[in-house]
Structure 1
Amino acid sequence: MALIDKLKEEQKSAMKAKDKVRLGTIRLALSAIKQREVDERITLSDDEIVAVLTKMVKQRRDSVAQYEDAGRQDLADAELAEITVLEDFMPQPLTEDEVAELIKNAVEESGAAGMQDMGKVMALLKPQLQGRADMGKASGLVKAKLS
């Protein structure tokens, strides 16, 4: 089943269950996906939908940090609930060992010799890690490996 179809089915289920948080979050996700499709005049693939969901999760994590710094735990909890719903539609996260193995393989495959080759390594890693690992952490691991 395509990811967009899964989102729409879960939207129906959330409506029937009267789960307002889940329904609202799924509607936001579908809206973001539709907006990108309209803007770019394309139909998004599952990988591109995962990228949209990943961006939404990242935005919510940033919001949680800001709300907690401001002492607004109620708003932080709402964002965390949305993150939980969004993560249901994302692929299983990779373990640190799996990420390290992918980085090692990408460095070998690209023939990277130093920091100037970091872009080549990241270009190989991005499709494999998208939505499954934190790209910022992966970038730090690649830097450490190449330096």
Structure 2
Amino acid sequence: MLKERLESDLHDAMKARDELVTSTLRMAIAAVRNAEVAGKSARELSDDEILSVLTKEAKKRREAADAFAGAGREAQAAKERAEEEVIAGYLPKQLSEEELTGIVREALAAGGFSGPGSMGPAMKAAQAAVAGRAEGGRVAAIVKAQLLS
């Protein structure tokens, strides 16, 4: 299970005195635990739900790195990028533009979506087909381009 892998890797990083990996994994595990207790009752998350939490955490790091870089704080931006790389090691390999375009094209054809009015349902179908292997913004841009063409 992914949560057990995170905890095992945290233990190994602590033994190796790797501060970056230790702090990043602690943050990731805390985010997973927060997600587990959110809502009406506490429950164990599935691996897919944990991947969703990790994807959000990676996106936070990427956005923070961009903000720090824009403000001229390169040291902090580099730290955020390094944390994102640690988290990315637990995420599925991201799709290339060509692979993503092909998957979105198939999902839109299977659902019979056309025209900009069907953006919502088309996005839902495309996100399901992509299954976390690409950022939502990238998927949305390709869906929009294909619906408008």
TM-score bin, normalised by smaller chain: over 0.9
Contact 1:53 1:90 in 2 (8 A): yes
Q: Does 1:94 align with 2:126?
A: no
Distance in 2 of aligned mates of 1:128 and 1:113: 17
Distance in 2 of aligned mates of 1:26 and 1:123: 30
Distance in 1 of aligned mates of 2:111 and 2:128: 15
Q: Which shifted more, 124-133 or 29-38?
A: 124-133
Distance in 2 of aligned mates of 1:17 and 1:128: 39
Runs of at least 5 residues in structure 2 that lack an aligned partner in the other structure: none
Deviation at 1:129, TM superposition (A): 2.8
Question: What is the letter of the counterpart of residue 109 of structure 1?
Answer: A
Q: Deviations over 1:19-44 (max 9, x none)?
A: 01101100100000000101132321
Distance in 1 of aligned mates of 2:126 and 2:143: 10
Runs of at least 5 residues in structure 1 that lack an aligned partner in the other structure: none
Distance in 2 of aligned mates of 1:128 and 1:3: 22
Question: How big is the alpha-carbon RMSD for the aligned residues of Structure 1 and Structure 2?
Answer: 1.2
TM-score by length of 2: 0.92
Q: Which shifted more, 3-12 or 123-132?
A: 123-132
Q: Match for residue 51 of structure 1?
A: 52
Distance in 2 of aligned mates of 1:57 and 1:86: 6
Q: Deviations over 1:2-30 (max 9, x none)?
A: 11111111111101111011011001000
Q: Match for residue 8 of structure 2?
A: 9
**Percent sequence identity over matched residues?**
36
Question: What is the letter of the counterpart of residue 19 of structure 1?
Answer: D
Question: What is the letter of the counterpart of residue 39 of structure 1?
Answer: A
Q: Match for residue 31 of structure 1?
A: 30
Moved segments of 4+, more than 3 Å? none
Question: What is the letter of the counterpart of residue 17 of structure 1?
Answer: A
Deviation at 1:123, TM superposition (A): 1.0
Contact 2:107 2:129 in 1 (8 A): no
Q: Which shifted more, 135-144 or 117-126?
A: 117-126
Q: Deviations over 1:90-137 (max 9, x none)?
A: 011111111011101110111112112122221122234343212112
Paired residues, number: 146
Q: Match for residue 127 of structure 2?
A: 126
Distance in 2 of aligned mates of 1:104 and 1:62: 28
Distance in 2 of aligned mates of 1:129 and 1:79: 26
Deviation at 1:77, TM superposition (A): 0.9
Distance in 1 of aligned mates of 2:52 and 2:79: 22
SS in 2 for 1:43: coil
Deviation at 1:141, TM superposition (A): 0.9
